[in-house]
């Protein structure tokens, strides 16, 4: 019974994941790139923080001037 | 979630097919996981926590499976998986710890940070006592008592994930609720056992 419940959970998760997460994002993430699906933000939805591993390179923002 | 599910698939398959080899080569696997953890210096699927979360899901749900060949096979590598999971959790935990301490004051840190820290702290003694040579030094009852804190650790992981409040919120919630439902019969059994023991003590 428990195994069956787990199997159902797994199937539901697979369906939701396949529908919501582009496979390209997963391949990119495995390759080491962050993207909308696998970002490094702590609270991407609410925008509370920009998160760890900021790729913006803010230190060099003024270099363009 | 794709990466988490892929990790679960890889570790379950490896556990079912190569449990003997994993047990035999466990120190090599720890070193390998340690090397991967050490060389990480930028955001990737390990330092973002997806891979360690997938490994912990296997460790968690192994205890919730029906008795049978799958549970038996996965149980034989559960300790090894827990240790590998913790080793891979370290870049995530330390990376974010340093980031938050560096960038935020103590009261500005997002709430999700605290259960993450608690989970990591809870898993330190659990990981140490998962090494078979240390486990052998302990009485089984003592070891079991220590490892009951794993439930606190798992709960803190999920609280950490839920407080992040991203688009995967309902998936994390679904996984945790399923886990709790699956463990309820064992919890009832455990408390009945304790009650029976107490009753015997009172009568004697």
In tens, the pLDDT along A28-63 reads 777 666 666 666 554 443 444 444 444 444 444 444
* CB within 8 Å: B43 and A53: yes
Q: Model confidence over B5-50: pLDDT tens digits?
A: 999 999 999 999 998 999 889 899 999 988 888 877 677 788 888 8
Chain B residues inside the 8 Å CB shell of A23? 2
Let me know the angle formed at the C-alpha of B120 by B45 and B123, rounded to the nearest 5 degrees: 110
Q: How far is A63 from chain B (nearest CA, A)?
A: 23
Output the CA angle B67-B69-B73, nearest 5 degrees.
105
3-class secondary-structure state, position B50: helix
Residue with tokens 């363009």: A64
Interface contact A32, partner B, CB < 8 A: yes
> Pick from A5, A18, A52: which is nearest to B178 by CB?
A5
Cα B48 to Cα B171: distance, rounded to the nearest angstrom:
17
Concatenating the DSSP letter of every residue in B102-154 gives HHS-TTTS-TTHHHHHHHHHHHHHHHHTTSHHHHTTS-HHHHHHHHTTHHHHH
Q: How many residues does chain A have?
A: 65
Interface residue B16 vs chain A (CB under 8 A): no
CB contact (8 A) between residue A53 and residue B47? yes
Measure CB to CB from residue A43 to each of B45, B48, B110 and give the nearest one: B110
Is residue B62 scored above 80 in pLDDT? yes
Please state, in angstroms and rounded to a whole number, the distance separating the CA atoms of residues B71 and B63.
8
Which residues of chain B lie closer than 8 angstroms to A20, CB-CB? 1, 167
* Domain range list for chain B: 2-196
Computed on alpha carbons and rounded to an integer, the radius of gyration of chain A in Å comes to 18
What is the percentage of chain B residues whose pLDDT exceeds 90?
A: 40
**Residue A60 DSSP code:** G
Alpha-carbon dihedral sign for residues A4, B147, B149, B5: negative
Give every CB contact of residue A19 below 8 A, 6+ residues apart in sequence: none
Q: What is the pLDDT of residue B141?
A: 86
In angstroms, rounded to a whole number, what is the distance separating the alpha carbons of residues B161 and B105? 21
Contact residues, chain A, for B171 at CB < 8 Å: 13, 16-17
Backbone dihedral region of B68: left (phi > 0), alpha (psi from -120 to 50 degrees) or beta?
left
Contact B65 A49 (CB under 8 A): no
pTM (2 d.p.): 0.78
Judge: A9–B174 Cβ closer than 8 Å, yes or no.
yes
Tokens 């030094």 locate to B137
């Amino acid at each position: 019974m428990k195994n069956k419940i787990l199997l159902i959970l797994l199937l539901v998760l697979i369906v939701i994941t396949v529908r919501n997460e582009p496979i390209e994002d997963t391949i990119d993430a495995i390759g080491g790139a962050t993207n909308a699906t696998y970002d490094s933000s702590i609270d991407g939805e609410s925008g509370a923080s920009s998160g760890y591993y900021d790729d913006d390179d803010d230190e060099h923002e003024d270099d363009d001037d | 979630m794709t990466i988490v599910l892929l990790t679960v698939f890889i570790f379950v398959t490896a556990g079912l097919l190569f449990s003997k080899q994993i047990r035999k080569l466990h120190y090599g696997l720890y070193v390998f996981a340690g090397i991967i953890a050490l060389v990480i210096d930028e955001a990737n699927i390990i330092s973002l926590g997806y891979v360690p979360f997938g490994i912990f899901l296997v460790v968690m749900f192994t205890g919730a499976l029906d008795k049978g060949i799958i549970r038996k096979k996965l149980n034989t590598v559960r300790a090894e998986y827990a240790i590998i999971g913790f080793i891979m959790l370290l870049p995530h935990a330390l990376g974010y710890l340093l980031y938050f301490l560096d960038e935020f004051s103590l009261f500005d840190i997002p709430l999700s940070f605290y259960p993450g820290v608690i989970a990591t702290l809870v898993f330190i003694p659990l990981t140490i006592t998962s090494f078979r040579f240390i486990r052998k030094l302990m009485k089984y009852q003592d070891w079991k008592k220590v490892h009951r804190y794993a439930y606190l650790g798992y709960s803190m992981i999920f609280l950490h994930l839920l407080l992040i409040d991203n688009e995967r919120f309902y998936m994390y919630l679904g996984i945790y609720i399923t886990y709790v439902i699956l463990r309820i019969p064992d919890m009832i059994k455990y408390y009945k056992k304790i009650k029976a023991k107490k009753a015997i003590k009172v009568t004697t």
